[in-house]
Amino acid sequence: MGVNKLKLAVLISGRGSNLKALMDACADEAFPAKIALVLSNRAEAEGLKFALAGELPTVVVNHKDFPDRLSFDMAVHAEIVKSGANLVVLAGFMRILTPEFVNLWPGRMINIHPSLLPDYKGLDTHARALADGQSEAGCTVHYVVPEMDSGPIIVQKRVPVLPGDTPDTLGERVLEQEHAAYPEAVRIVARSLLK
C-alpha cells in the first residue's frame, strides 16, 4: 500500500456520526484514506464539532446563499477541488445534487443510505420499512449517479427488524451498521482507485 492514500471530502448536513466513524477509521495508520475536508451546508451542523475537535479543515457552504441548485453545487465543487480531495463522501448530506455536479466526480463520489437499496430510496426509510412489515432492514453504500439513491452498490449490511421496533430503535440498529459499512466501503474503493 505504501503511503498513498485517498483524500476524502466528507459532506455533511447534521449529526455527523458517519463522519466520526470515518475519522476513527482514518486514525489507523494502515487505513487507505485521510480526510482532506469536511464540508457542511449548515453552519449549525453538530458534526462540525467532530471535525474541529479532530483539527480537520472545515468549510460551510450555505445553500441559502445561492439562487439555484447548480450555483450551490458548483461552489461545493470548487471547495472540494481546492482541498485536493479525490473522493467525495456523502455522509448525511441532505441536498439533492444536480447531474452536472455528480458527473464531475464519476466513480469518485459515494453515499450512505439507511435502507437496503433499491428498496426505500428517499426519506423516512425506517418508518416505511416497518409499515411494510419487513423482517430485515439495513444500509447501503453506493457510488453516486445522477438518479437519487441509485448507482452501483459497494457494501450493504443487514439487521433484523425486532418485535416492538419503532423507527428510532430500528434506526439505531441500522446506524451501528452504517458506522462499520462506511469505512469498509472506503477500503474497497481505495483498492480500485489507488491501483
Active site residues: 113
Nearer to ligand GAR by Cβ, of 83 and 178: the residue is 178
Is the preceding peptide bond at 118 cis, omega within 30 degrees of 0?
A: yes
Beta bridge partners of 88: 9, 109
Q: Which residue is nearest to ligand GAR (CB)?
A: 92
- Nearest distance in Å: CB 47, ligand GAR: 6
Least Å from the CB of residue 175 to ligand GAR: 6
Least spacing, CB of residue 64 vs ligand GAR, in Å: 19
- Binding residues for ligand GAR (CB under 6 A): 12, 14-18, 47, 91-92, 112-114, 175, 178
Annotate 110-152 with DSSP letters as a single string.
EEEESS-TTSS-SS-HHHHHHHTT-SEEEEEEEE--SSTT-S-
Phi then psi for 142, rounded to 5 degrees?
Answer: -140, 155
Closest CB to ligand GAR among 47 and 151?
47
